[in-house]
Amino acid sequence: MSPYRLAILAAAATGIQVGANIVATRFAVGQIGPISLALLRYAIGCLILAPVVLAIGRPRFACRDIAPIAVLGILQFGVLIALLNLALQYIPAARASLIFATFPLLTLVLGAATRRESLSARVTIGVTISILGVALTLGESAVIADTGGPDADIDAWIGAGAALGAAFTGAVCSVLYRPYLQRYPTLPVGFVAMAASVAFLAVLATGEGFFNAWPQLDTIAWAAVLFIAVSSAGGYLVWLYALRHAPPTRVTMFLGLSPVTAALLGTLLLGEPLTAGVVGGLVLVVAGLGVALR
C-alpha cells in the first residue's frame, strides 16, 4: 500500500480516536480540571514515548528547528485547548464543536494562501459537505442562537471567537508541521512537541491547584485518563504520519469523524439516544470525504 493511502487510513483512525477520547473524557472531567486533565494526558503520553525515542537513538535536530517544533506543540496542545475551554464557558458544547469543525476549511485556505496546497473546487465542496454532516450530527442546539439579551449576545461572540481561534490554531499547526515532518522522523518531532506542551500546561495547571495535592480520581476516571493518555500518544504519532504523507486539508477533514464517533460511542457506552441526525450526519461526513478524496 502506498504511503498516501496509509496516511489516509491514519487520518481516519485519528478522527475516530479523537471521538473516543471525547467520550472517555466525560468519565474524568467532572473530577479534575480540564487543564490538569490535559497535563496528565500528555505527561503520561511523553513517558510512554520516551523509552521508544531513546531506543531508536537521539535525533539530530538542527538548532534552528527545535524552537519552532516546540512552539507548534505548545500551540496545538496548550493554546488550542485553552481556547476551546474558554469557548465552552460561553457557548454550548454542540455549537463550539460545530465552529471547531471549520478546522479543515481553514486549513485549506491557509494551505492555498501559503501555496502549500492547491485550492480546488472538489476539495472545497467535500469539506463543506463534511461540515454540514457535523452540524446535522450535533443537532439544532449547534445552530440555534440563544435569546438571553445583550449579555448573552456578547457571551456568544466571545465563545464563537474562542472556538474559531482554536480551529485556526489547529489549522496553522497542521500546515506548518509538514516541513519538519519531511525533514525528520515522525517520532522525535512528536516527542519534542508533546514535551514542550507538557511544560506549558504545567504552568496553566498551577492555577487549578494541580500541584497542591495528588488528583483524587476514582477507578473509572483513572482508567479513562490512562486510555486517553495511551491513545493520545499513539494517535498523535499517527496524525503526524498522516500530515507527512498527505496534504493537510485531506488529513484534517477526517476530524469530522470525531463528533460522529463520540455520538455513536455515547449511545453504546452512556445510553445516549441514537437520533436520525447522527445517522444522517455520518452519511454526509463520509460523502464529503468521498468527494474530496475521489
What value does the mean pLDDT take over residues 72-78?
Answer: 89
Mean pLDDT of all residues in 1-27: 84
How many residues are given for the chain? 294
Range in 92-101, 178-187, 231-240 with the lowest mean pLDDT:
92-101
> Sign of dihedral through CA atoms 17, 18, 19, 23?
positive
* Mean local confidence (pLDDT), 95-111: 79
Question: Which pTM was predicted?
Answer: 0.77
Which pLDDT value is given to residue 196? Answer: 93
What whole-number percentage of the chain has pLDDT above 70?
90
Distance CA 3, CA 6 (A): 5
Residue-level pLDDT at 280: 80
Q: pLDDT, tens digit, for every residue of 111-170?
A: 888 777 777 788 888 888 888 877 776 665 555 555 555 556 677 788 888 888 888 998
Torsion of CA 18, 200, 40, 29, to 10 degrees: -60
Q: Is the pLDDT of residue 241 over 60?
A: yes
Residue 255 CB partners (closer than 8 Å, separation 6+): 14, 15, 18, 101, 103, 104
Higher pLDDT, 226 or 259: 226
- 266 has pLDDT over 80: no
DSSP letters, 161-206, are HHHHHHHHHHHHHHHHHHHHHHHS-HHHHHHHHHHHHHHHHHHHHH
Is the pLDDT confidence value at 71 over 90? yes
AA identity, residue 146: D
Most confident of 79-93, 141-155, 210-224: 210-224
Which of these, 17, 22, 11, lies nearest to 262 by C-alpha position? 22
Cβ-proximal residues to 53 (8 Å cutoff; 6+ apart), any chain: 59, 187, 188, 191
C-alpha cell belonging to residue 10:
491514519
d(CA 240, CA 74): 15
How does pLDDT run across 158-210, given as a tens digit for each residue? 888 888 888 899 889 988 988 898 888 888 888 999 999 999 999 988 888 88
235, pLDDT greater than 70: yes
Between CA 121 and CA 292 the distance in angstroms is 9
The band of 31, judged by pLDDT with boundaries at 50, 70 and 90, is confident
What's the rounded Cα separation, in Å, for the pair 276 and 267?
Answer: 13
pLDDT at 82 over 60: yes
Average of per-residue pLDDT values in the chain: 82
Cell of 142: 449547534
- What's the rounded mean pLDDT across residues 47-70? 85
Find cell 489547529 and name the residue. 170
Q: 7-16, 24-33, 86-95: lowest mean pLDDT where?
A: 86-95
Closest-CA residue to 255 (of 28, 98, 118) = 98
Q: Report, as an integer, the average pLDDT of 101-106.
A: 81
